[in-house]
Chain A
Amino acid sequence: MRLRILDNGHSFGTKALFAFIRTVSRQPVLDVVKLVNYRAGFYGGPMSKLTQEAMRGPSAWSVGDRELMAAFVARASQCEFCVKVHTAVAQGAYGGSKDVPALLSDVGAAAVEEPLRATLLMLGKLTREHAVDADDMRAVLAAGASRQQIEDALAVGFSFHAITRLADAFGFFVPGPKAFAAGAKYLLARGYR
């Protein structure tokens, strides 16, 4: 973590919470948790509320679909930390009904419904090129995604276009698989609140 305040500038109560998390999970506290709990009134609070709505609010997309979109955006932005977290959450949410790594490495060839495939391709372009045009949207609509589904996917995109940038800029530490598994378990059970 490139800013010391994000590692150890938290309030006494938050530090106690981190100690509790370390004891219960027997894993280090993930840097994203440290970020959203640092001066939470500034960024973490409002952003968590938004992300909870995008990832767990009412939508025709399943939780697994939206976690897959998050992992897909993370992969398109080469954010290793976010790819690992959200791949694990998507796998947990799908319960083995989709091959998440295969979808991330070749969405064109992997087995997946056409509306979701087209939506992922659009999100990937938006992530890489910072823009999409009306033809890109026509392709997603033609594949069978509804307008509302596209808007819901763009909400996921908004969250992760911000979060991946912060992970890179602040230099999130990438721990071992057990720490990500613990984080994924928490996000599946509790969401982003």
Chain B
Amino acid sequence: MSDIKQAQKELQTRILEGDGRASASDRRAAFDNHGLAEPLRTLVDKVALNPLRVTDEDIAAARASGLSEDQVFELVVCAAVGQATRQYDTALAALETAAGKK
């Protein structure tokens, strides 16, 4: 009975609310895959929903829009963890429906 809830909370709090080079609002938007402007919108959406499609050009476009490599690093991490979190929460909710409330 591994329990990742606490570790998950720590990770999420760290990447969204802790010190970062990208703004907290951009990190939150990347995590949610919602509310970003181009070219970041395309990069983040691919990371979340179609990561094999990410290209050198997507990263270059984000950089050309004025983001540093550190900012791109943080926002891609937020996008990946955000999508993984949604999938985890959806699956746990399905399990609760199937097995009843704990």
Residues of A at the B interface (CB closer than 8 Å) are 2-6, 9, 38-39, 41-43, 46-47, 49-50, 53-54, 57-60, 77-79, 122, 126, 130-138, 141, 147-148, 150-152, 154-155, 157-159, 161-166, 168-171
Contacts and interface: CB of A to CB of B under 8 A. Distances in A.
Which applies to chain B's interface (DSSP): helix, strand, loop or mixed? Answer: helix
A58 B2 contact: yes
A166 B85 contact: no
Given A137-B94, A166-B80, A126 B87 contact: yes
Contact of A130 (B20, B54, B87): B87
Name which of A46, A57, A60 has the most chain B CB atoms within 10 A of its CB: A46
Given A2-B56, A39-B73, A42-B20, 15 more contacts: A3-B73, A5-B73, A42-B18, A50-B4, A50-B7, A57-B3, A130-B87, A131-B91, A154-B95, A155-B2, A157-B87, A157-B91, A161-B88, A165-B47, A166-B80
B52 interface: yes
A168 to B, nearest CB: 4
Interface string B53-74: 0101001000000000110111
Given A154-B88, A166-B80, A50 B8 contact: yes
A58 B1 contact: yes
Contacts, number: 157
6 contacts: A9-B69, A57-B3, A154-B88, A158-B88, A164-B51, A169-B54
Contacts of A168: 47, 51-52, 54
B64 to A, nearest CB: 14
Contacts of B94: 131-134, 136-137
B29 interface: no
Contacts of A58: 1-2
- B11, B80, B91: which has the most chain A beta carbons within 10 Å? B91
B97 A137 contact: yes
A41 B74 CA distance: 12
Interface of B: 1-4, 7-8, 10-11, 14-15, 18, 20, 43, 46-49, 51-52, 54, 56, 59, 69-70, 72-74, 76-77, 79-81, 83-88, 90-92, 94-95, 97-99
A59 to B, nearest CB: 5
A150 B102 CA distance: 14
A138 B4 CA distance: 23
Contacts of A54: 2, 4
A151 B54 contact: no
